[in-house]
Amino acid sequence: MKHVFVINPASGKENSFETIKTALEPLGGDLDYELYVTQAPGDATAYIRSYCNQYTSPVRFYACGGDGTLNEVVNGAVGFSHASVGCYPCGSGNDFVKYYGGKDAFLDVAALVDADEEWIDLMRVEDRYAINATHFGFDSCVAKTMMNVRRKKLIGGKNAYTTGVVVGLIKAMKNDCKVIADGELLNPEGKILLCTITNGQYVGGSFRCAPRSLDNDGLLEVCLVRPVSHITFLKLIGEYTKGTHLGNPKFDKLIEYRRATSVTIEAPEGFVYSFDGELITKAHFTVEVVRDAIRFAVPKLAKPLAGELHVPRIAELQKA
């Protein structure tokens, strides 16, 4: 198998090129690999599609960056049966790999190239795919703020989401839209504080919005939170952060939680949603799950937070 490390030099605090190169050198001639440094947003997707159209031998592309880089790599590799995806999480958030217990197991390059591949689901809006989350309402305001401050000292980096939350408390406590999960209207009043539709478990670097999510069960996790006062928000944000909000009596009247294969959003013109961190403006759209959409490399020491509920479908066994 060919191993291609797709490196986003703008991701994280420093360019990871030298770190990855140094980690690969001891593997020597035993590993067929190359390093590709992206030139601009969207370049990773274009490069991978071009590569896969030109070469048909098995290849694994590693997203070396944050969740945005992983999204680009996924969108490049999806649909090509000879391509799979890995992740070297060196961005600021790295939300998706938190499903597997965090980034540490994925930062061991030798273990990463030796990882087993599992079939996992993706979510799709029209012809675009996401691996982790679609979220909107309060979260869209947060994501937009994060994009603006992520490179700034003190309020950016790991603090970018917190900065976004502060701005959201001022601007985005009540948002107009209707959310329809597998035909069921979840909020007839047409208002939300926020809504997350997830394949992973985390958004924003530390918020475990979907603690029951499995990334290979053919279902999306939908968590809609109704508008609340600032005081109530501040009282409950800790539970939401820890992932203890589902089944919690404090949230009984505030949350609609569903598992669904398709979620439709109807909103006013100019509505913004976050799709694996990419902000998209669209008033009406449908998020669909795509079962067994891609093969994802999971290091042997990675421990899914879903525990015994996560039953990996190893790629080789699936083919057999």
pLDDT tens-digit series, residues 167-214: 888 888 999 999 999 999 999 999 999 999 999 999 877 889 999 999
What is the reported pLDDT for 85?
Answer: 98
Asked whether residue 128 is domain-assigned, the answer is no
| Each residue's pLDDT tens digit, 253-308 | 999 999 999 999 999 999 999 999 889 999 999 999 999 999 999 999 999 998 78
Q: What is the mean pLDDT of residues 14-21?
A: 88
Residue 316 has pLDDT above 60, yes or no: no
Clarify whether residues 246 and 163 are in a common domain.
Answer: yes
How many other β-carbons are positioned within 10 Å of the β-carbon of residue 226? Answer: 18
How many other β-carbons are positioned within 10 Å of the β-carbon of residue 266? Answer: 16
Clarify whether residues 40 and 95 are in a common domain.
Answer: yes
* Strand order from edge to edge, sheet including 220-225: 255-260, 220-225, 194-198, 133-137, 272-275, 278-281
11-25, 98-112, 223-237, 256-270: which range is least confident on average?
11-25
What is the reported pLDDT for 318?
Answer: 46
CATH, residue 107: 3.40.50.10330
Clarify whether residues 114 and 166 are in a common domain.
Answer: no
Asked whether residue 281 is domain-assigned, the answer is yes
Clarify whether residues 285 and 139 are in a common domain.
Answer: yes
Clarify whether residues 221 and 206 are in a common domain.
Answer: yes
Asked whether residue 251 is domain-assigned, the answer is yes
Determine what percent of the chain is predicted with pLDDT higher than 70.
98
CATH, residue 264: 2.60.200.40
What are the CA-CA distances from residue 297 to residues 58, 105, 114, 119, 237 (Å)?
A: 13, 11, 9, 9, 33
What is the reported pLDDT for 320?
Answer: 33
For 13-29, b/e burial (b = at least 16 CB within 10 A) is: eebbeebbeebbeeeee
pTM of the model: 0.90
Quick one: which H or E segment has residue 53? helix 43-54
| Each residue's pLDDT tens digit, 24-47 | 999 877 899 999 999 999 999 999
Structural domain including 26 reads 2-121+292-319
Tell me, rounded to whole angstroms, the distance of Cα 309 from its chain centroid: 20
Clarify whether residues 101 and 141 are in a common domain.
Answer: no
Total tally of structural domains belonging to the chain: 2
Clarify whether residues 84 and 152 are in a common domain.
Answer: no
Q: What is the mean pLDDT of residues 114-119?
A: 96
Tell me, rounded to whole angstroms, the distance of Cα 14 from its chain centroid: 21
Whole-number average pLDDT of the chain: 92
Asked whether residue 189 is domain-assigned, the answer is yes
Clarify whether residues 284 and 303 are in a common domain.
Answer: no
pLDDT greater at residue 85 or residue 203:
85
Determine what percent of the chain is predicted with pLDDT higher than 90.
76
Clarify whether residues 105 and 231 are in a common domain.
Answer: no
Clarify whether residues 105 and 139 are in a common domain.
Answer: no
Tell me, rounded to whole angstroms, the distance of Cα 265 from its chain centroid: 19
Both ends of the chain: CA-CA distance in Å? 18
Say if residues 274 and 197 touch (Cβ distance below 8 Å): no
Clarify whether residues 299 and 276 are in a common domain.
Answer: no
pLDDT greater at residue 92 or residue 263:
263
Asked whether residue 145 is domain-assigned, the answer is yes
What is the reported pLDDT for 14?
Answer: 73
